[in-house]
Amino acid sequence: MRIFLFGLLAAASLAACGVDGEPVRPALNAGMSVSSSGVHAGGSVGVQKGPLNILLGF
């Protein structure tokens, strides 16, 4: 599972660096919540170009 996520992140990073065209700005979102059942962390990484957003949440 970790290898798959690493590969997906590497592919998104390669696509975001502008190898095939002009650069696309990567997006990163992170958060943390605390509740009575414990502490939970989450976030997402992705790319945004115009009205199109592609995000991968974790």
Report helix, strand and coil shares of the chain as percent, to nearest 5.
25, 50, 25
Instruction: Give residue-wise pLDDT tens across range 2-44.
Output: 777 777 777 777 666 655 667 677 878 888 889 888 998 988 8
Contacts of 24-31 with C-beta under 8 Å, sequence gap 24+, read 24/48, 24/49, 27/53, 27/55, 29/55
- Please report the pLDDT score of residue 58 as a whole number: 73
- Please report the pLDDT score of residue 35 as a whole number: 87
CA distance 33 to 40: 5
Q: What is the pTM of this model?
A: 0.45
Q: Domain ranges in the chain?
A: 2-57
Q: What is the mean pLDDT of residues 47-53?
A: 80
The answer to whether the CB of 28 falls within 8 A of the CB of 45 is yes
